[in-house]
Structure 1
Amino acid sequence: MSKLLEACLADLWTQRFTFARMGLELQPDRQVLRSSLTYYAMVLATSFELCTVCAFIVLHRSDIVLCSEALMHGIQMISSLLKMTIFVCKCPELVSLIGALQAPFRHSNANAAELRIWQLQNRRGQLFSAIYFLLCAGTSVSFLLMPLSSTALHYYRTGQFVPVSSFRVALPYDVTQPAIYLLDCCLMVLVLTFFCCSTTGVDTLYGWFVFSLTANYRRLVLQLQRDLGQAPASRELERYLAELFRQHAQLLELVARFEVVFRDIACVEVLLICVLYCSVICQYIMPHTNQNFAFLGFFSLVVSTQLCIYGFGAEQVRHEGEQFAQRLYQLVPWHQLTPRQRRLLLLPLQRAQKETQLGAYFFVLGRPLLVWIFRTAGSFTTLLNTLRAQN
């Protein structure tokens, strides 16, 4: 059992597992699409279901409750398709960035204290990824299992086949036939697997980068304490600080690359999650008879966790940058430096104190953005509830 737990907590295990289920490979010097057939089958199945959702919304555009539920599923499908398209296009850069963040801890000069920092952050990241994966898996399983159980129970009690579905779609075929209904369920397996794996893989990969950047910042703080604690001579101190500033400049470059790579995905999350969160709220305040509360509960947790990953993840990176700048100012022995050395340190010190912000084109990720998302979702919900009351 301990060996299994160690394997599950290995670096990037959750991400590689979920991407492998979609036929993708997260390895350097390898093709991204390991199994093109699996990936494109899931994409086509999800695209087909998205078209049926759009058709349902057009047919029932006068019913706010049904449209809000169908919109919830449609927005999530659009989010998964867009995120995976961006991920496939930027996967080589992501793999290169992963290697750059892992390199300082795989170097032969890395000491035990630095490795413990990496292992601690990696374990926290993988535990969080495992919990998030279970939430996404619970959402997918409950979405398919609850209607199947209701259909089977009704058939067992009455002997009549009356298919139950919590998915608001306008299908081009008749699902009242048992064989067609089973085929439709098989199609939904592809769609739900794509939702679970794409959401888990991309979102937890963002979280992995946050934990990795945290480990790199704390490694610099540890190195600063170790080198300056030895009270070196003035010339040695200048060499230590020059090396430290060089590594910090490289880390800032990695943060900038991280922002550029995930900028599109974060923008998609922010733009779509407002409407998605609004649709989720509408299912609670405007319920109908066929409500799948098991799915709705899991899905609400997934959406809330998505907000925390991108919002608080950006806050964590900013906080670690501020902590490093503060420790740098406190630990540098200014009294041992010559006036010339103090003047030379002003520019790198000013750069270290610059606030680190992760953006998504029109947005700056952080807690204020979370407040804006909640307020926007609340405004959408109030509008839909007003339209429902008028009808």
Structure 2
Amino acid sequence: MSKLLEACLSNLWVQRFTFGLMGLDLRQDRRTLRSPVTYLVMMLATSFELCTVCGFIVQQRHDIVLCSEALMHGIQMVSSLLKMIIFVCKGRELVSLIAAIQAPFLRANIEAAELRVWRVQNRRGQIFSAIYLLMCAGTSISFLVMPVASTALIYYKSGQFVPVSSFRVALPYDVTNPVIYFLDCCLMVPVLTFFCCSTTAVDTLYGWFVFGLTAHYRRLELELQSERMQSSAGRDLDHRLDQLFREHARLLELVARFETGLRDIACVEVLLICVLYCSVICQYIMPHTNQNIAFLGFFSLVVSSQLCIYGFGAEQVRQEGQQFAYQLYQLLPWHEWSPHQRRLLLLPLQRAQKETKLAAYFFMLGRPLLVWIFRTAGSFTTLLNTLRAKD
């Protein structure tokens, strides 16, 4: 059991597993789109269900309650489709970034303290990824199993086939036929698998990058605190400073690549999450019938976790950069150095004190953005509730 748990917490296991189920590969020596057929089937099935949701919204456009319920499912489908299209387009760039973040910790001569930092951060990332995967899996399973179980229970009690669904859509076929209902449930399997895998894979990969960059900053802090740096002098000090500053410059380049590579995905997440969160809130405050409580509970956890990943993840990278700038000034005995060595410190100190900005085009990721999302979602919810009251 311990070996199985260790394997599940290995580096990028959750991401490789979920991307693999969609026909994608994170290995640098392989094609990103490993199985185009699997990927295309999931995309087409999800696109078909999205069209049925849009058709239902058009039909029920005067009913705020029904529209808000359908909108919740439609927005999540749009989010999954857009994020996976962006990932496939930027796949090689992101896989290259993964290799660049791992490279310093895969050296044969790496010190034990640095390796420990990497393992601690990686384990934290994988534990969070595993929990997030369970939440997404619970959302998908409850979405399909609960209606099927309710349909079977009604048939067992009354002998009549009354199909139950987790969401209302405008289907081009009659699901009151048991065979058609069974085929529709089979169609939902790739759709729900796509939702679970795309949401888990992309969001936890963003989180993995955050933990990886955190490990890089902690590694540089260990170098600042090392006895070799504190006691070096002369040419040896110049060499160690040069090495430290080069590593810091490479780290800032990795942060810039991280911001550029995931900017589009973060922008999609921020643009859609306000309306999505508003739709989720509406499920609790507006009157509904036959609500799938298990699905709604899991889905609420997933949406809240998405906000934390992108908001607090960006805040974590920013704080690690600030912390390194403080320690660069406080830990190095610069007051004992020669004027030449002090001048060497000016440019890296200035570079370290520059604020790390992780943007999503129109938005700056961080805690203020989370507040804005909650306020906007609350405004949308109040508007919809007012419209419902007037009707």
Distance of 2:338 and 2:56 partners within structure 1: 74
Structure 1 gap segments, 5+ residues each: none
Q: RMSD across aligned C-alpha pairs, in angstroms? A: 0.9
Give the C-alpha shift of residue 343 in structure 1: 2.5
Provide the residue aligned with 1:237 in structure 2.
Answer: 237
**Which residue of 2 is the match for residue 76 of structure 1?**
76
Give per-residue Cα distances to partners, 1:142-184, cap 9 Å, x unaligned. 1111100100000000000000012121000000000000000
C-alpha contact 2:267 2:363 (8 A) present in aligned 1: yes
Instruction: Report the counterpart of residue 57 of structure 1 in structure 2.
Output: 57
**1:253 paired residue number:** 253
Between the aligned partners of 1:91 and 1:209, the Cα distance in structure 2 is 14
1:287 shift after superposition: 2.6
Structure 2 unaligned runs (5+)? none
2:225 & 2:14 partners in 1: Cα distance? 34
Once the 2 structures are TM-superposed, how far is the Cα of residue 342 of structure 1 from its aligned partner?
1.6
Q: C-alpha distance in 2, partners of 1:117/1:143?
A: 39
2: CA distance between counterparts of 1:55 and 1:229? 66
1:6 alignment counterpart: 6
Deviates more, 1:12-21 or 1:230-239: 230-239
Distance (Å, rounded) in 1 between the aligned partners of 2:103 and 2:139:
36
Structure 1 residue 336: deviation in Å?
2.4
Structure 2 counterparts to residues 209-248 of structure 1, below 5 A: 209-226=209-226, 228-248=228-248
* Contact persistence 1:227–1:240 (CA under 8 A): no
SS at match of 1:144: helix
| 1:24 partnered with 2:24 | yes
Amino acid at match of 1:201: A
Name segments (4+ residues, structure 1) moved above 6 Å: none
Kept after mapping to 2: 8 A contact 1:234/1:336:
no
Question: Partner amino acid for 1:19?
Answer: F
Pairing 1:41–2:33 present = no
Q: Is the 8 A contact 2:230 2:333 kept in 1?
A: no
Residues 43 and 81, structure 1, Cα contact 8 Å, conserved in 2: yes
Cα pair 1:228 1:332 within 8 Å, conserved: no
| Partner of residue 354, structure 2 | 354
Report the Cα offset of residue 229 of structure 1. Answer: 4.8
* 1:332 counterpart residue number: 332
Check if 1:296 corresponds to 2:257.
no
Counterpart CA distance in 2 for 1:61 and 1:78 is 19
User: What is the distance in 2 between the residues matched to 1:352 and 1:107?
Assistant: 25
Q: Displacement, 1:341?
A: 2.4
* CA–CA separation in structure 2 for the residues paired with 1:41 and 1:227: 57
Residues in 2 aligned to 1:227 and 1:242: alpha-carbon distance in whole angstroms: 17
Correspondences of 1:122-133 after superposition (within 5 Å): 122-133=122-133
Paired residues of 2:229 and 2:240 also in contact (CA < 8 A): no
Structure 1 residue 340: Cα displacement: 2.8
AA of the residue aligned to 2:188: M
Q: How far does residue 52 in structure 1 lie from its aligned partner after superposition?
A: 0.3
Q: Tell me the residue number matched to 2:206.
A: 206
**Aligned partners of 1:202 and 1:344: how far apart in 2?**
40
Alignment of 1:371-386 (within 5 A): 371-386=371-386
Could you say which residue in structure 1 is the equivalent of 2:281? Answer: 281
- Give, in angstroms, the shift of residue 228 of structure 1: 4.7
Mapped partners of 2:152, 2:55: distance in 1: 28
Amino acid at match of 1:355: E
1:19–1:201 CA contact under 8 A, matched in 2: yes
Q: Structure 2 counterpart of 1:18, which letter? A: T
Deviation at 1:227, TM superposition (A): 5.1
1:102-154 deviation line (CA, Å, top 9, x unaligned): 11111122111111111111110000000000000000011111100100000
- When normalised by structure 2's length, the TM-score is 0.99
Checking the alignment, whether the CA contact within 8 Å between 2:267 and 2:360 is kept in structure 1 is yes
Whether the 8 Å contact between 2:223 and 2:229 is mirrored in structure 1 is no
Tell me the amino acid that sits aligned with residue 58 of structure 2: V
CA distance in 2, matches of 1:339, 1:20: 56
SS in structure 2 of the partner of residue 382 of structure 1: helix
TM-score (norm 1): 0.99
Instruction: Output the CA distance in 2 between the equivalents of 1:51 and 1:278.
Output: 21
Q: CA deviation at 1:235?
A: 2.5
Determine the C-alpha separation between the residues in 1 that align with 2:233 and 2:195: 58
Distance in structure 2 (CA, Å) of the matches to 1:191 and 1:28: 28
Match for residue 87 of structure 1? Answer: 87
Contact kept, 8 Å, 1:234 with 1:337, in 2: the verdict is no
Q: Distance in 2 between matches of 1:240 and 1:331?
A: 14
Asked if structure 2 preserves the Cα contact closer than 8 Å seen for 1:151 and 1:162, the reply is: yes
Q: Determine if contact 1:57/1:70 at 8 Å carries over to the other structure.
A: yes
* Superposition deviation, residue 345 in structure 1: 1.8
- What amino acid maps onto 1:279 in structure 2? S
Q: Distance in 2 between matches of 1:52 and 1:140?
A: 18
2:117 alignment partner AA? I
Cα distance in structure 2, aligned partners of 1:346 and 1:287: 63
Paired amino acid for 1:318:
R
Following the alignment from structure 2 to structure 1, what is the Cα–Cα distance between the partners of residues 228 and 388? 66
Percent of aligned positions that are identical? 78
In the alignment, which residue of structure 1 is the partner of 2:316?
Answer: 316
Amino acid at match of 1:247: E
Provide the C-alpha distance between the structure 1 equivalents of 2:162 and 2:342, rounded to a whole number of angstroms. 80
| Paired residue secondary structure (1:357) | coil
Instruction: Answer yes or no: is the 8 Å Cα contact 1:228–1:331 preserved in 2.
Output: no
CA contact (8 A) 1:307 1:370 kept: yes
Task: Give the SS at the match of 2:33.
Answer: coil
Give the whole-Å Cα distance in 1 for the aligned partners of 2:341 and 2:246: 16
Task: After superposing the two structures, state which structure 1 stretch, 177-186 or 20-29, moved more.
Answer: 20-29
Q: Please list the CA deviations of residues 23-69 of structure 1 after superposition, one character each: whole Å capped at 9, or x if unmatched.
A: 11111121112111111000000000000000000000000000000
Instruction: Give the aligned residue type for 2:112.
Output: A
